[in-house]
Every structure is written in structure tokens, then in C-alpha cells.
Amino acid sequence: MLGNYVNLIMIVIGSIVGLLVKKGLKDKYKKTIMQAIGLSVIFIGASGAISGLLNPDSEPVLFIISLVIGGIIGEVVGVENALEKLGMLLQRKVGATEHNIAQGFVTASLIFCVGTMAIIGSLESGLMGDHNILFAKSILDGVTSIILASTLGIGVIFSAVAVFIYQGAIIVFAGFLEPLLTAEVIREISIIGGILIFGIGTNMLEITKIKTANLLPAIIVPVLYYTLFVPLLRLFG
């Protein structure tokens, strides 16, 4: 778990630095930085999704099916509303006056959690005690959290808890998850994650109002597809 602890600490430190930077910024600079971050997030999301889709082994429509099914599940469960309530609760607890705690929390959590480094790094940490990937990810997340917290505020720091729980679960159950989190599954999750991050970027630029949190269950669909549906096709095909 050493790599996961380091990741947690780096996000917290980066967020604190970002909050200190935010206090010294004028509103016009905050707006410009927000736009720059929004564009950057769009690029990160698009590049991640496209690189996965360009893989000749990728499933061309699986990400569409996953987003549709995941969106329906998210709406039924009310993921977005639950996160907004959590954001309001955190806002009251810390006495913050800003109104985008949920946005900062969701945005940072998605960027830090949805990606191959989080999954592969956690698997290697849990299976072999190799923390190198998570150490490298910690540096990237620390720098990113400075930039995000400087505009999105204190909500970013709470993403450290989400990252710790997410990666910690993979580390603890690595032996069980390794057969499920194949290269194919990780590729499809990365495509979906890239699309979600793209949606976050357009929301940050106020181009759209996509309920990205409600689409989060979509990342479970590729796991079910490759562990249940594909074996059945091979069995009866």
C-alpha cells in the first residue's frame, strides 16, 4: 500500500499548494486559467479515447453500449445527486463558501482514477509489491492537483480519499481482480474514461451540462462483457 499512501499525500500537498495559489489570483486570471484547464482536460480525454479506439483489437461499439447502460444505471441510482449532496455536506463541514466542491471532487477523482496507470500500478503494487508506477503517478497527480485546486477549489483535496479507496481496493483484491482486468478490459475502460474526461472538459468550459457522474457505472460494463458475454459467445459460437 506504500504507493497508494504516497499518491494520497501528493494529492493533498498539491491541493493545498493550489489553494494557496488561488488566494492570490484575481478573478480575471482564474477565469482564464479555468478555460485553459478546460481545454487541456478536453485534449486529455480525447487523446485517451482516440488512442484506445485506434487499437485494431478495440470493440467499435462497446463504449457506446457501455455509456448507454451505465447512464441508465447512474440515473436510476442517482450518482450525480449523491455526489452533489456529498459536496454540500463537505461544504458545510469545512465551512467553505465556494459552490463547486462537488465539481472539483468529481473532476479530480475522474482524472486521477480513470486510466491505465491507476489500474496497472495498483495491480503491480498488490501482486508484486512494485510501487514504481504509483510513485510516478503520484508526481503527476500532485502537479495536476495544484492546477485543479487553483481554480476548482477545495473539492480537489477530497479526491485524494476517492483515489485512495479506489486504488486500495484494487491492491487488496489484486489476486482476484487480475484475471478480470485484462488488457482488453483496461483498454475499453480507458476509452470510456477518456470520453467522460472529455465531457468534464466541455462542462468546465460551460459548453455542455453533461451529468458525467451518472455515466460512471459505464466502466463496469466492459468487465462484464469480457468475463461473461465473450466466453458465452465462444462456447456457443
Q: What is the pLDDT of residues 171-224, one digit of tens each?
A: 999 999 989 999 999 999 989 989 998 998 999 898 998 988 899 999 999 999
Rg of the chain over Cα atoms, rounded to whole angstroms, equals 18
Measure the CA dihedral 157/159/161/166, to 10°.
Answer: -160
pTM given for the model: 0.85
Q: What is the pLDDT of residues 55-92, one digit of tens each?
A: 898 888 999 999 999 999 999 999 888 887 877 777 77
Please report, for the chain, the start and end positions of each structural domain, with discontinuous segments joined by +.
Answer: 2-231
Q: What is the pLDDT of residues 157-179, one digit of tens each?
A: 999 999 999 999 999 999 999 89
CA 172 and chain centroid, separation: 19
Distance CA 95, CA 86 (A): 14
Q: Phi/psi of residue 209, each to 5°?
A: -130, 60
Assess whether pLDDT exceeds 80 at residue 98: no
CA 227 and chain centroid, separation: 23
197 vs 37, 144, 208, CA distance in Å? 12, 14, 13
Write out the H or E segment, with its range, that includes residue 168.
helix 155-172
Distance CA 139, CA 30 (A): 24
Q: Is the dihedral of CA 220, 86, 13, 173 positive or negative?
A: negative
pLDDT of residue 70: 96
With cut-offs at 50, 70 and 90, classify the pLDDT of residue 130. very high
Q: What is the pLDDT of residues 25-34, one digit of tens each?
A: 777 787 888 8
